[in-house]
Amino acid sequence: MVGCSLAGVRAAEELRRLGFGGRLDMIGEEDHFPPFDRPPLSKEVLSGSRDITEARLRLFTDLHATMVLGRRAVALHATANEVELDDGATISYDGLVIATGTSVRRIACEGSDLAGIYYFRRAEDCAQVLQRLQAQPRVAVVGGGFIGSEVAAVCRARGLDVTIVDLLPLPMVEQVGQAAARYLLDQHVRHGITMRLGVGVAAFEGAGEVRQLRLTDGSVVAADVVIVGIGVKPETAWLQDAGLVLDNGVVCDQHCAPLGGASMVAAGDVARWFNPAYGTTMRVEHWTNAVEQAEYAAGALLGIEGREGYRSVPYFWSDQYDMHLQMAGIQGPEAVVVEGSSADRKFVMMIRDGGRDVGVLCVNWPARFQRYRRQLKDHLASAGPVTAPAPGSAS
Ligand SMILES: Cc1cc2nc3c(=O)[nH]c(=O)nc-3n(C[C@H](O)[C@H](O)[C@H](O)COP(=O)(O)OP(=O)(O)OC[C@H]3O[C@@H](n4cnc5c(N)ncnc54)[C@H](O)[C@@H]3O)c2cc1C
């Protein structure tokens, strides 16, 4: 097992649950176990309502594993069935689970090495930001995506002066589409966040510590703390020479088996697999997928696999202000509110592509959401299984 966070741990548990009694080596760069669960970090932990020590992943099964923590895999020697570690040691395997997830994209501009600029993925990042927030700083959040929006909402709820800067015209538009993103923009504005959209960061300025951001339109945003959330990239560098197909993740067939590999599976944020539910390859950066795909992949590694493959209707949730947002499925060009209304801040929106329902998004209505989510799954299933393309023809 390489990668010892959500997908790695859930795959290990599933292997044991399915009766695998052999040796299990779990290699993870982060050196705490159980690993931290990431969703609470940008929500309850940052808001101060939950202690960081309580944000660990819950374990359901005794793993009986050899933990190799604080170590990075630096190469996969696939022909020798060996993983090479950063201390030169090698670990051999009969079966391999690739669960190395993603890491943050870093901003490259003048001043990006000033103190006071943070990224937000690991528990350590969260702890550092939490500590800085005690001094009531002015906060700038670069990136109005999923993480940036949540962090901004929490900082604002703590009474801080917050600005969101994003090159895109709307927050979370890539995840939720135009119509819902316009609604999210209204929520930020209603809660008093300053939105600087459609503009980038040219430089961070300050003497040793950041004091302001100079934007690409020449304007300036004052900030003592900057949190950058401009997306993530799949952690595949260690697989570079392994003969696998790497293209925005580890490209896999419908059974989560990497193309070009043998005796291995990939799961979680790092895997880009052929999803029969949509008839295309996709990589999903959400919690529920990491769990469900890890469970499927563990079974596939043991030779127990569904005929059709890992069929998934992706799901995520996000909490911002008094809003619980849930979405299942994927983006499409059309969106229509089918129940409730944005004025009541409680609604269900269907997302369609060419008349076909491809996703559903819901605000503050979990019970209704579950009904629509089930319907969407049935609808996609009734469209019939989609055949996988020939290996290597990832779309
Ligand atoms: C702050 C935050 C909030 C989130 N909130 C939500 C939410 O509300 N809803 C939702 O659906 N999703 C949310 N997510 C996304 C969710 O947490 C991820 O989808 C999930 O963590 C993916 O799990 P993973 O195990 O695939 O990858 P990761 O969590 O990225 O874990 C990969 C692990 O592999 C290790 N690793 C990487 N490379 C190597 C290597 N070469 N050798 C050894 N180890 C390596 C890493 O250190 C890491 O521990 C959130 C994410 C973050 C960061």
Question: Using one digit for the tens of pLDDT, what is the confidence trace for 163-203?
Answer: 999 999 999 999 999 999 999 999 999 999 999 999 999 99
Ligand 1 site-directed mutation target among 176, 286, 373, most atoms within 8 Å of CB = 286
Please work out whether the CB of residue 6 comes within 6 Å of at least one atom of ligand 1.
yes
Residue 294 CA to ligand 1 center (angstroms) comes to: 13
Q: Are 181 and 318 in contact (CB under 8 A)?
A: no
Residue 6 CA to ligand 1 center (angstroms) comes to: 7
Instruction: Give the integer Cα–Cα distance in Å for 281 and 294.
Output: 17
**Residue 351: CATH number of its domain:** 3.30.390.30
Q: Is residue 267 part of a domain?
A: yes
Residue 367 has what pLDDT? Answer: 95
Q: Is residue 287 part of a domain?
A: yes
Q: Do 258 and 285 share a domain, yes or no? A: yes
Q: How confident is the model at residue 245 (pLDDT cuts 50, 70, 90)?
A: very high
Q: Do 153 and 98 share a domain, yes or no? A: no
Query: What is the model's pTM?
Result: 0.95
Q: Do 130 and 191 share a domain, yes or no? A: yes
Q: Do 191 and 257 share a domain, yes or no? A: no
Q: Is residue 390 part of a domain?
A: no
Q: Tally the domains of the chain.
A: 3
DSSP string, 278-314: TTEEEE--SHHHHHHHHHHHHHHHTT---SS------
Q: Which residues span the domain enclosing 355? A: 322-382
Q: Do 225 and 240 share a domain, yes or no? A: no
Segment 263-295, tens digit of pLDDT: 999 999 999 999 999 999 999 999 999 999 999
Residue 382 has what pLDDT? Answer: 84
Q: How confident is the model at residue 384 (pLDDT cuts 50, 70, 90)?
A: low
Residue 307 has what pLDDT? Answer: 80
Q: Is residue 315 part of a domain?
A: no
For the record, the structure tokens of 381 come out as 């299933």
Segment 340-369, tens digit of pLDDT: 999 999 999 999 988 889 999 999 999 999
Ligand 1 site-directed mutation target among 13, 25, 31, 38, most atoms within 8 Å of CB = 38
Instruction: Give the integer Cα–Cα distance in Å for 337 and 322.
Output: 20
Q: How long a stretch of residues is the chain?
A: 395
Segment 26-51, tens digit of pLDDT: 999 999 999 999 999 999 999 999 99
Residue 54 has what pLDDT? Answer: 94
Q: Do 136 and 32 share a domain, yes or no? A: no
Please work out whether the CB of residue 318 comes within 6 Å of at least one atom of ligand 1.
yes
Instruction: Give the integer Cα–Cα distance in Å for 9 and 297.
Output: 12
Please work out whether the CB of residue 250 comes within 6 Å of at least one atom of ligand 1.
no
Q: Do 112 and 225 share a domain, yes or no? A: yes
Please work out whether the CB of residue 315 comes within 6 Å of at least one atom of ligand 1.
no
Q: Give the mean pLDDT of 298-309.
A: 91
Q: Do 110 and 23 share a domain, yes or no? A: no
**Residue 219: CATH number of its domain:** 3.50.50.60
Ligand 1 atom at minimal distance to the Cα of residue 269: 26
Please work out whether the CB of residue 261 comes within 6 Å of at least one atom of ligand 1.
no
Which SS3 state, helix, strand or coil, does residue 126 take?
helix
Q: Which residues contact 28 (CB under 8 A, 6 or more apart)?
A: 2, 3, 4, 5, 8, 35, 67, 68, 69, 70, 71
Instruction: Give the integer Cα–Cα distance in Å for 103 and 235.
Output: 6
Residue type, 95: G
